[in-house]
């Protein structure tokens, strides 16, 4: 055993390796991305590891391996599970041979996501077990248990950490030299592996009979625990358990019940608690999941216990919990005196708000600015997508009119076009998102004769989630150099007639290209090609000379965070500036010069 200080995501990766995982696939998404990166760091080539093109592909790759008896793990963020839900729902009926664990990281807050959906509900919807770790230490062990249960019951299982578990660091004792599992290989059996209505009917019944048994099994599971005694009980799940524990410490005058496997619900473990307690409080994030089950069990058994939680106003309806929030609601529930450790802060001055912004020197800023300039005075719709470039919505660029989900910008731009032929419809999509779910949208546009301009913001990486490679980068997670999948050839193949490639920092040229495309009918594509500045060496530094007349045009037009205003003049922060030169093409008196990268 060796000790490692790692983040929750790495603990999950190391746990999977300790479980002898044979194949790991996934698609990047905060807060899940570091799981695959960690597997990559420790992989000696014996595990097949991949960033799949999207979550659906990742799920299916993993399912194939699990059919062959291998242990497979697939990772994604919670909204990725929506993309992968088609294979998942069917897979739940078919089942697996080798252990298959689907990690779907939830993001209460939401901190970096579009939704506050709850993977525990998804597990119940799909009728498969789900594990909910409350710390990195627990995640390391629990993911190994997840593989065991998956194999024991021949079912894929979900594993859902939340952001605060994924991004918390702790020391774990981990296996020195884990060996991948030996497996038999795929054995043909079309009665088993080919889904037909008859098979679904039979397996559905089997699953509904099996799940209560898993619930009983889970009632004995080591991470489902009941401690303490008394007439009151607190139920907590996931990270909220850690918050409650932080408040209660080793207090024994209240029952504390940890639900580590929300589905199938460990009813046998919980029933005696509900029989003993007069009042229970549920502390959980996202949906009132445990709460609903407690209400159900209390109802079925006609117990007089009162269940408090989100539905009774004793829990937030949205957003994440915290150590303080848990302390507050548990303290109130138990009738404790509130602590007075805090500094009184009611007279706090107004604080600046800090919405996230595109980095100084980000090529997306230049691309958006070029389109904005080209379309000045014209009616145009700007459909955005998921990635760093969603930040193109911020003032002063204000270049994102819609953002829904991965790839939606391309298809929504078509919907807008079909309702308004006078406006120019734009869709902005990053290179990774284009591969993940943009391509089919382009086919749709060509086939259904939409007029639109597709702007591929190609920065040669998956920037927002931490710079993962993708099919267009020529590298994969096995460390191999492969031929790049070429976006231009894809577009040509689909039948896009007008395709332009331009460096967004050549502003005049970029503006001219956009204007030209706006005059042409049909689907046009402009590939704005320039690498993400966070993974390239900055090429220079710009500075603002005495000539600055303080007009603030550079600030008001492009909003680069490296430019500030002091004593009536604009100023460039040298430690942030990358020398991209965009500001100098905006300044009306040519006051900005220096070491530009052109």
Partner 1 sequence: MNKDILLCGVGGQGTVLASKLIASAAMLGGERVHSAETIGMAQRGGSVTSHVRIGEAYSPLIPFGSADMIMAFEPAEAVRNLCYLKKDGIVIVNSVPVKPVTESLHDTGYDGTEMISYLRKKCSNVIVVSAEEICEEFGSSKFFNVAILGVAVGSGKTGLSAENVMVEIESKIPERFRELNKKAFIKGMEIGEGYEAK
The SS3 of residue 42 is helix
Residues numbered 351 to 390 that lie near partner 1 (CB under 8 A) are: 351-359, 388
Cβ pair 89, 117 in contact under 8 A: no
Alpha carbons 161 and 286: distance in angstroms, whole number: 13
Nearest to 234 by CA among 221, 242, 247, 244: 244
- Residue of the chain from 210, 534, 569, 593 that contacts ligand SF4 (CB under 6 A): 534
Alpha carbons 444 and 175: distance in angstroms, whole number: 49
322 part of the interface to partner 1, by CB under 8 A: yes
Rank residues 5 and 201 by Cβ distance to partner 1 and give the closer one.
5
579 part of the interface to ligand SF4, by CB under 6 A: yes
Rank residues 81 and 362 by Cβ distance to ligand SF4 and give the closer one.
362
Q: Which does 352 bind (CB under 5 to 8 A by kind): partner 1, ligand SF4, none?
A: partner 1
581 part of the interface to ligand SF4, by CB under 6 A: yes
Cβ pair 154, 206 in contact under 8 A: no
8-state DSSP, 117: -
Rank residues 443 and 576 by Cβ distance to ligand SF4 and give the closer one.
576
Distance, CA of 256 to chain centre: 31
The distance of closest approach from Cβ of residue 448 to ligand SF4 in the complex, given in angstroms and rounded to an integer, is 31
| Residue where the block lists tokens 């989630």 | 465
Rank residues 14 and 362 by Cβ distance to ligand SF4 and give the closer one.
362
103 part of the interface to ligand SF4, by CB under 6 A: no
Among the candidate windows 199-207, 311-319, 353-361, 394-402, which touches ligand SF4 by CB under 6 A? 353-361
304 part of the interface to partner 1, by CB under 8 A: no
- Residue of the chain from 495, 574, 589, 590 that contacts partner 1 (CB under 8 A): 574
Give whole-number Cα distances, 192 to 29, 188, 202, 396, in Å. 33, 9, 11, 58
The distance of closest approach from Cβ of residue 463 to ligand SF4 in the complex, given in angstroms and rounded to an integer, is 4
Alpha carbons 286 and 309: distance in angstroms, whole number: 12
Alpha carbons 403 and 417: distance in angstroms, whole number: 16
Q: Total residues contacting ligand SF4 (rule CB under 6 A)?
A: 24
207 part of the interface to partner 1, by CB under 8 A: no
Alpha carbons 258 and 290: distance in angstroms, whole number: 10
Neighbours of 313 (CB within 10 A): 9
Among the candidate windows 6-14, 336-344, 436-444, 570-578, which touches ligand SF4 by CB under 6 A? 570-578
Q: Total residues contacting partner 1 (rule CB under 8 A)?
A: 62
Alpha carbons 361 and 369: distance in angstroms, whole number: 13
Q: Which does 579 bind (CB under 5 to 8 A by kind): ligand SF4, partner 1, none?
A: ligand SF4
Token pair of 182, please? Answer: 């030996």
341 part of the interface to partner 1, by CB under 8 A: yes
The distance of closest approach from Cβ of residue 111 to partner 1 in the complex, given in angstroms and rounded to an integer, is 6
Alpha carbons 245 and 190: distance in angstroms, whole number: 50
8-state DSSP, 536: S
Q: Count the residues in the chain.
A: 598
572 part of the interface to ligand SF4, by CB under 6 A: yes
Beta strands in 312-423 (DSSP E): 380-383
Binding footprint of partner 1 on the chain (CB under 8 A): 5, 7, 30-31, 111-112, 135, 163-165, 167-171, 239, 242-243, 245-247, 249, 322-324, 327, 339, 341-345, 348-349, 351-359, 388, 391, 394-396, 464, 466, 552, 555-556, 559-561, 563-565, 574-576
Binding footprint of ligand SF4 on the chain (CB under 6 A): 358-362, 364, 388, 459, 463, 532-534, 542, 560, 562-563, 572, 577-583
């Amino acid at each position: 055993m060796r000790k490692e200080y790692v983040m929750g995501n790495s603990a999950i990766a190391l746990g999977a390796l300790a479980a002898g995982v044979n194949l790991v696939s996934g698609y990047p998404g905060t807060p899940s991305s570091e799981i695959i990166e960690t597997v990559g760091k420790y992989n000696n080539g014996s595990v097949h590891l991949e960033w799949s093109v999207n979550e659906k592909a990742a799920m299916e790759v993993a399912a194939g391996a699990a059919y062959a008896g291998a242990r497979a793990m697939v990772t994604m963020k919670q909204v990725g599970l929506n993309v992968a839900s088609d294979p998942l729902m069917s897979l739940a009926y078919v089942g697996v041979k080798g252990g298959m664990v689907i990690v779907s990281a939830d993001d209460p807050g939401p901190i970096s996501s579009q939704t506050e959906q709850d993977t525990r509900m998804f597990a119940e919807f799909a009728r498969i077990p789900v594990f909910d770790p409350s710390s990195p230490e627990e995640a390391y062990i629990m993911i190994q248990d997840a593989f065991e249960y998956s194999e024991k019951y021949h079912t894929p299982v979900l594993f859902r950490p939340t952001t605060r578990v994924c991004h918390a660091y702790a020391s774990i004792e981990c296996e020195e030299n884990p060996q991948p599992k030996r497996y038999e290989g795929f054995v043909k059996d079309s009665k088993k592996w080919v889904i037909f209505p008859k098979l679904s009917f039979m397996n559905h019944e089997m699953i509904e009979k099996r799940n209560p048994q898993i619930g009983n099994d889970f009632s004995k599971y080591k991470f489902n625990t009941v401690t303490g005694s008394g007439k009151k009980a607190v139920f907590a799940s996931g990270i909220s358990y850690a918050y409650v524990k932080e408040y209660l410490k080793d207090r024994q005058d209240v029952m504390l019940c940890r639900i580590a496997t929300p589905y199938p619900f460990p009813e046998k473990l919980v029933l005696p608690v509900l029989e003993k307690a007069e009042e229970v409080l549920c502390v959980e994030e996202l949906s009132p999941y445990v709460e609903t089950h407690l209400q159900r069990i209390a109802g079925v058994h006609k117990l007089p216990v009162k269940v408090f939680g989100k539905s009774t106003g004793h829990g937030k309806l949205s957003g994440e919990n915290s150590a303080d929030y848990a302390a507050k609601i548990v303290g109130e529930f138990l009738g404790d005196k509130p602590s007075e450790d805090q500094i009184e802060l009611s007279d706090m001055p107004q604080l600046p708000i800090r919405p996230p912004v595109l980095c100084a020197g980000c090529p997306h800023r230049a691309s958006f600015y070029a389109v904005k300039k080209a379309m000045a005075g014209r009616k145009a719709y700007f459909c955005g997508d998921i990635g760093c470039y969603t930040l193109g919505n911020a003032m002063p660029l204000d270049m994102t009119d819609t953002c829904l989900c991965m790839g939606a910008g391309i298809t929504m731009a078509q919907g807008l076009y079909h309702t308004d032929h006078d406006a120019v419809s734009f869709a902005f999509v990053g290179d990774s998102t284009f591969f993940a779910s943009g391509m089919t949208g382009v086919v749709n546009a060509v086939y259904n004769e939409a007029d639109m301009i597709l702007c591929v913001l190609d920065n040669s990486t998956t920037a927002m989630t931490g710079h993962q490679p993708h099919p267009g980068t020529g590298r994969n997670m096995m460390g191999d150099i492969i031929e790049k999948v070429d976006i231009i050839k894809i577009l040509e193949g689909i039948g896009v007639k007008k395709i332009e490639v331009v460096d967004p920092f050549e502003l005049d040229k970029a503006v001219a290209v956009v204007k030209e495309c706006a005059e042409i009918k049909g689907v046009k594509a402009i590939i704005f090609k320039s690498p993400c500045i966070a993974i390239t060496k900055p090429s220079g530094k710009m500075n603002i000379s005495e000539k600055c007349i303080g007009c603030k045009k550079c600030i008001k037009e492009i909003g680069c965070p490296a430019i500030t205003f002091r004593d009536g003049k604009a100023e460039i922060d040298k430690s942030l500036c990358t020398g991209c030169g965009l500001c100098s093409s905006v300044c009306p008196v040519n006051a900005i010069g220096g070491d530009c990268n052109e």
